[in-house]
Amino acid sequence: MARKGFASSIGSALEGRNLSPVSTEPKEGTKVEPKVNEPTPAPKEKREAKTKKVAENKAPKIEGTLTTIGFSITEEDSKFIRKAAIKTRMTKEEFFSMVFTETLSFDIDFDDPDYELFTERFKKAARYTTRIDKSLYEQMQEKAADNYLNITGYINYMIRKYRKRNEL
């Protein structure tokens, strides 16, 4: 049930406002282009178009074909990576690509205690995700398989070997 005086309060609130209908006629001297009746996209199509536009704007400009890899390394290797990337004035992504390219030529000693460490489970302390060239990653996978290591163990072994050769 409506309260007494409610309608009058609305009237007084609207008092003084221009309540005349808005004219849709163009003002004199303005050029009017005829409207083209285009079908309006359905709401789902609008969302998809907007999502696609946002994705195109946020997509990184990547030259060549890169692949994203993730791996865990030991604490001492992680400290070395942080320091060496700063010292060489490279991003970690650039540094990893350089390390992986350089270590492809390294020979693996099957009697090396580090080799034994990375063939089994080892204590992981830091997690890294980086992008490297796809062909480099494929070469690393082949080299890992040739040396009886999975790719994560191979990456860890090569980082350890690189760290020992280039200790800061």
Q: For residue 117, which amino acid is it?
A: L
Tokens of 39: 């079908």
Outline where DSSP puts E strands in 74-158.
126-133
Whole-model pTM: value is 0.57
Question: Which residues are CB-neighbours of 73 under 8 A, at least 6 positions away?
Answer: 81, 124, 125, 126, 128, 155, 156, 159
CA distances from 31 to 23, 28, 38, 44, 105 (A): 16, 9, 21, 35, 73
Q: What is the pLDDT of residues 47-66, one digit of tens each?
A: 555 555 544 444 334 456 88
For residue 132, the cross-strand partners are: 67
Cα–Cα dist 98/20, whole Å: 73
Q: What is the pLDDT of residues 60-111, one digit of tens each?
A: 344 568 889 998 888 888 999 999 999 999 998 899 999 999 999 888 888 8
